[in-house]
Amino acid sequence: MRALRIILIITVVLAGIFVAADRLLVGVAEDKAAEKLRTSEGLAQTPDVSIKGFPFLTQVVGGEFDEVQIGIDGLEASTEGEKMRIEKLNATMHGVAFSDNYSSATANRASGTALISYAELLKAAQVEPVELAPGVNAKVVGLADGGDGRIEVRVEIKGSVLGVPVNRTVTVRSQVAIEDGLVKVNADKGELDGELGKLKALGLGIVEARIREITDFQQKLDGLPSGIELDKVEAASDGVRISVTGSQVKLAG
């Protein structure tokens, strides 16, 4: 009995040492993967990388991780030659396989979310004054959460009609959607009709198509990690949240 007890104690101690070593190696691998991702994607900050599954060493020998979670803050994406900041990109990668002596990695499939602030999205809107009618200009001055998954678009209208000053801010709620890889913002027709009625009462004969040139806009995002595509989008309190999906996502190399 005493011999059996000694064997059990030794087994438990060795198991503890293996687990500790395994977890230590995971930490080292996560740090190296994060640095590799930072340099390969040209990130300003080192991302968070978390390798799931146990034991880690068995996955290394097999050349593939079951699941890897990645968090990137301040990702710079390009859009028609201009930069746009994605506040946070969180992604979960499944089936992450290595190649070229562990110098590159590709995920079989991935999913996650990206957050774009309203201040960044405003860059895609018409922020320069546009003539709505003779002597009257308009521009988008702000975006915010409009509730019910919609965006509040604020348009400032200034000028004069027959010598009468016009200084008004029009607010409409807009639908936001993903179409053909674009984030599209379109004003609700009912709300837009209501605002047009108020403008006509001021003597401004503005048609819907003209005001939509100001309220409606779209944004294209390039520069996302290879293999990642936009899936769906919704307005939130801190910005626009975009769901992303992908397959054969290139992580490094």
Give SS3 for 61. Answer: helix
For 44, the token pair is 């300003």
Residue 10 pLDDT? 39
Please state, in angstroms and rounded to a whole number, the distance separating the CA atoms of residues 228 and 111. Answer: 8
- The reported pLDDT for the residue numbered 20 is 52
CB 43 within 8 A of CB 72: yes
Digit-coded pLDDT (tens) for 113-165: 888 898 888 887 767 788 877 888 888 888 999 888 889 989 888 888 777 78
Q: What is the C-alpha separation between 93 and 75, in angstroms, rounded? A: 18
- List the chain domain ranges: 2-117+223-232+240-252, 121-220
Residues of the chain with pLDDT under 70: 1-25, 40, 56, 77-82, 100-104, 126, 200-205, 207, 222-225, 251-253
pLDDT at residue 8, as a whole number = 41
Helix (H, G, I), strand (E, B) or coil at 85: strand
Token pair of 188, please?
């609700």
The DSSP symbol for 10 reads: H
Rounded distance between C-alpha atoms, residue 148 and residue 160, angstroms: 35
Whole-angstrom Cα distance, residue 76 to residue 123? 14
185-194 contacts at long range (C-beta below 8 A, 24 or more positions apart): 185/121, 185/125, 185/151, 185/153, 185/216, 185/217, 185/218, 185/219, 186/212, 186/215, 186/216, 187/153, 187/211, 187/212, 187/215, 187/216, 188/150
Answer for the pair 172, 215: CB distance below 8 angstroms, yes or no.
Answer: yes
pLDDT on residue 203: 65
